[in-house]
Amino acid sequence: MLIYKKLNNNAIISKDENHKEIVVMGKGIAFKKDIYDEVDEELITGIYALKSKNQQSKLQQLASEIPYEFFAIASDITMNAKKILESELDEGLLLHLADHLHYSYEKDKKGIKTPNLMLNEIKQFYKKEFEIGIAAIGLVNRRLGTRLGEDEAGFIAFHIVSCESTSGTIDANDLLIKMQKIIKAFEKYLHVTLDKESYEYSRFIIHLKFFMTKMITSTSRNDKSLSDDSLYQMLVEKYKNINECLDKISAITLLDFNYELTDTDRMYLIIHLARLVNK
């Protein structure tokens, strides 16, 4: 196996037997190595290849920025999820988990905690995925020395749910049609054309898919008001155009699905739409 490109000392791009690009990781695998040098196979800890060109490109970018240990942990979590759920998961789960775990690790080092405002819904609607998240957090804490808790377990469950090939009791085609309608409404009311190929859009779709699943399956809403939450008020004030857009989206969801956006829904949608529209 040859080195075709060095991403950093711990990650390189090589090619498999079919001459397709693969990302190969291992501690020190590219240290003091040049292009076309042989890879020391004893150092290899992971080989990753994604079918989607966009996902493969993002994999290479993340591999150059994130220590290989996060990919190793993400890979273990993914395999455990597949085993417990007995289903295939979208290949992008590896990227989302590695990216999220690295972000969570950096926050934990700084003593920053992010409350998961959807934790109750995750526990209620996605019990298996949440149990996988709890096991995953235990793994992360042991390997990285972090002190992550239930909130982060919920975020991991969130990513797993969003990458499941089916949506349980949700008709996949019905969910897709509803998502397309909401996306078109966002573009219409915000006067933008969303970049469907961007990573920001991919992350937005993860949240939108979760939101739509919650909207379709919820028979009652007991989300607390965030009127006294300083972060929520700051977001609403800073992104008035997006919040006004969400007023119109809420009217659509109320008419079509008998669901009115909660403050929690608004908070997360504002965050993700702001990243997407202002990237």
pLDDT tens for 195-248 read 887 877 877 887 787 788 777 776 445 566 787 778 888 999 999 999 999 999
Q: Can you give the pTM of this predicted structure?
A: 0.65
| Phi, psi values for residue 95, rounded to 5° | -65, -45
What structural domains and CATH numbers belong to the chain?
A: 5-52 (2.30.24.10), 68-162 (1.10.1790.10), 172-277 (1.10.1790.10)
| Phi, psi values for residue 90, rounded to 5° | -55, 140
Residue 152, CA atoms < 13 Å, CB-side half-sphere: 22
Q: In 10 A of CB 260, how many CB atoms?
A: 12
Q: Any idea which of 94-98, 102-106, 148-152, 158-162 has the lowest mean pLDDT?
A: 158-162
Cβ-contact 39, 9 below 8 angstroms: no
- Helices 263-277, 240-257: axis angle to 10 degrees equals 130
Question: What three-state secondary structure class fits 66?
Answer: coil
Strands 21-25 and 5-8: unpaired
Residue 273, CA atoms < 13 Å, CB-side half-sphere: 29
Q: What is the pLDDT of residue 86?
A: 86
Distance CA 231, CA 236 (A): 9
Q: Give 142's pLDDT tier (boundaries 50, 70, 90).
A: very high
